[in-house]
Amino acid sequence: MIRLAILWHMHQPFYQDLETGEHALPWARLHALKDYRGMVDLLEPFPGVRATFNLVPSLVRQVEDYASGAGTDRLLRVGLTPADMLTAADRAFLVANGFHASVERLIAPHARYTELHSTREQSASWTVDDLRDLQVWHKLVWMDPDRLREDQRLGSLVAKGRGFSEDDKAALHAVEMEWLQSTVGAYRRACERRQVELSTSPFYHAILPLLCDTDAHLAAYPEAARPARPFRHPIDAREQLTRAVRFHQERFGMPPQGLWPSEGAVSNLVVPIVAAEGLGWMATDEDVLARSLGEDLPRDGDGLPLRAEVLYRPYEVQAGGARVRVLFRDHALSDRIGFTYQSWQASHAVDDFLWRVRESARRFSERDPGPDPVIAVILDGENAWEHYEGGGRPFLRELYGRLQAATDIRTVTMAEAAADGARPLTSLFPGSWIHADFYIWAGHRDDQRAWSQLSAARAAFDERAPFVPLAARDRAYEELLIAEGSDWFWWYGDDHSSPQDREFDEQFRHHIRKAYEALGVVAPAELLETNITTGAAPLAGGVMEPAE
C-alpha cells in the first residue's frame, strides 16, 4: 500500500502595523476569500481522503482580525468608499491596485473586468461608474470559485456585470465578512471530524536555523560574505515556536503534532527546540536529505527518483540530546502541482500525478519490498490556484475523487506518515526547501545588511529591556519577532521581485524602528533608507518560483 501524505502550507507575511492596526497589504484577506476556507471545504465530500493543513499563526491572527471587523487595509477602505467620494489619490490607488490578479484566469473571463483592464492599459479616463465597477470586480474575482457559483448574491453580481450600485458593494462586503468569519472554524471542524491534521510553523514564519546563527548559511557557501553583525539568538527561535504551539492550542483545542518549519528550514540546532515543544515531526525538502546523507538522489529523464527506497520513508534525527521524526518532500511531485499542471486539463494532470506516484512507489518496493513507501507532497496551498482553470477546483476534485477510489493508495496525515518505520539520521544539513541552502534569505548584500540591522536592534533590546516598563519591553520584542519573519528577506536580492518590493522593505525597517522607539532609543538613520540595491523583473502573477 502506498502512503501518500499531502500537506498544504497556508501562509502570508504579518502585514499588520501593531500601532495603527492597519494591514499594509491585502493578501491575507484576499486569499482568505479565495482559498483558505475553500481549500478545507473541498475535502469534506471525500471522507476517505486525509490531508494536513499547515496554518501559520500570524496568518490565522490576521484572518481573525479581519473577521472581527477591526482589520482593514487601504484597498479594502478605498473599495468600500462611495465611488463619487473617492479622492484623486484614492482613485489613482484603486486603478493601480485593482488588477492584482491573473489576467488569463481571473480578469479575461469577465467582459467588464477586461474592459476596465484595457482602460487602465490605455491610460484612458475613468468615470464614477467605471470606478464603482472596479471596486466590485477587484473583490468579486477573489471570491472562492465555488461560492461564486453557488451563492445567489454573488451570482447576481456576476450576471449583472456592470453598472453596480453602492448597495451592490454593501452586499458583496456582507458576503466577504461571512466568509472571513467562518474560515478558522471550518478548519477546526475538519480537525474534529479527524479528516485533517493541523500543523504549525514558527509564529511569524521565521527561519529557525538563521535565528540560531546566521552562519548556518556558510554550510552551503563556506566562502560567502556574512552580515557585519551576525544574528545568534536561539532563544528567539524557541520563542517563535513556543508562541506558535500555545496559539494553536488556544484556537483549535489541541496542540499541533508537528510543523512545517518556515521555508522548510532545518538544522541540528533546531531539533532540540522542536522536541522541547512536544512536536513529534517536522518536514523539509529531499535535497536536504541528500546533503545530510552526503549522497546524490538522482532522477531519470522522466523526473522519477532512481533511489526511491531512500526518499520515501520517515527518518529520525538525533541532535542536542533530542529526537524528532523528519519527512522529506518529493519536490518534483510537489512542484508539478505548484507550477506545471496549471495549463493541463484536470483529468490529464491527475493521470500524470498518479502515474508518477505509482511508478515511484513501484521502484521503492523493488529495492525494499518490506515497508510501505511514504510519499510526502508539500507545497503552498494558496498561490497556485489563481493560475488554474476554475481556481484549481476541477483539478482538486478530480485528484481527491481518484484518491478516494484508489485501492493501492492510502492518504495519510503527516503524523501518520511519520509514525512507523523511521530510519536513523545522524545529522541534518542546514538547509531549506530551495536548493538545501539559505541563499535566498542570507546570500545577498541586501539580506546581510538587513540581518545586521536586526542584530543591532536585538542587541539594543538586551541592553535596554531591563530599564523600560514591561509594556514597552513586550512591544519592542514583538516588533523584533515580526521583523524576524522570512518574507522580508525573500524579496531582497536579484532572484525574486514583485510590485511590492519596496513595501516589504519598508515594513521590515518599520518594525525595527518601532522596536527602538519602544525602548526609548533613537533608531539608526540607515533605517530611514531603503535596503534595496538590486532587484529582478517580477514573476508572472507574483507567485513563488519552483525550486528548480
Q: Within 10 A of 476 (CB to CB), how many other CB atoms are there?
A: 25
> Which DSSP symbol is given to 31?
H
Give the whole-angstrom CA distance, residue 388 versus residue 395. 8
Q: Hey, which residues does 284 pair with through a beta bridge?
A: 328
| pLDDT at residue number 538 | 38
Give the whole-angstrom CA distance, residue 128 versus residue 494. 40
Give the chain's domains with CATH numbers. Answer: 12-48+58-192 (no CATH), 205-214+229-385+406-425 (3.20.110.10), 444-542 (1.20.1430.10)
Tell me the pairing of strands 2-10 and 51-55.
parallel
Comparing CA positions, the residue from 237, 428, 238, 233 lying closest to residue 324 is 428
| pLDDT at residue number 61 | 98
Q: What is the pLDDT along the chain (548 residues), one digit of tens a residue?
A: 999 999 999 999 999 999 999 999 999 999 999 999 999 999 999 999 999 999 999 999 999 999 999 999 999 999 999 999 999 999 999 999 999 999 999 999 999 999 999 999 999 999 999 999 999 999 999 999 999 999 999 999 999 999 999 999 999 999 999 999 999 999 999 999 999 999 999 999 999 999 999 999 999 999 999 999 999 999 999 999 999 999 999 999 999 999 999 999 999 999 999 999 999 999 999 999 999 999 999 999 999 999 999 999 999 999 999 999 999 999 999 999 999 999 999 999 999 999 999 999 999 999 999 999 999 999 999 999 999 999 999 999 999 999 999 999 999 999 999 999 999 999 999 999 999 999 999 999 999 999 999 999 999 999 999 999 999 999 999 999 999 999 999 999 988 888 889 999 999 999 999 999 999 999 999 999 999 998 643 333 333 333 33
Task: Taking the CA atoms of 237, 546, 183 and 15 in sequence, report the sign of the dihedral they define.
Answer: positive
CA dihedral 154, 157, 161, 164 (to 10 degrees): -140
| pLDDT at residue number 343 | 95
* Residue 465: burial class (beta carbons within 10 Å; 0-12, 13-18, 19+): middle
The size of the chain, in residues, is 548
Give the whole-angstrom CA distance, residue 282 versus residue 293. 17
| pLDDT at residue number 535 | 63
Judge if pTM exceeds 0.85: yes
> Residue 184: CA atoms inside 13 Å, Cβ hemisphere, count?
23
Backbone φ, ψ for residue 431 (5° rounding)? -170, 175
Q: What is the 3-state secondary structure (H, E, C) of 364-380?
A: HHHHCCCCCCEEEEEEE
| pLDDT at residue number 497 | 84
Q: Within 10 A of 452 (CB to CB), how many other CB atoms are there?
A: 18
| pLDDT at residue number 542 | 30
Give the whole-angstrom CA distance, residue 91 versus residue 84. 10
- Asked if residue 488 lies in contact with residue 13, where contact means CB atoms within 8 angstroms, the answer is yes
Secondary structure element (H or E) that encloses residue 51, with its range: strand 51-55
Q: How far is CA 196 from CA 413, 417, 421, 424, in A?
A: 7, 13, 22, 27
Fill in the amino acid letter for 500: Q
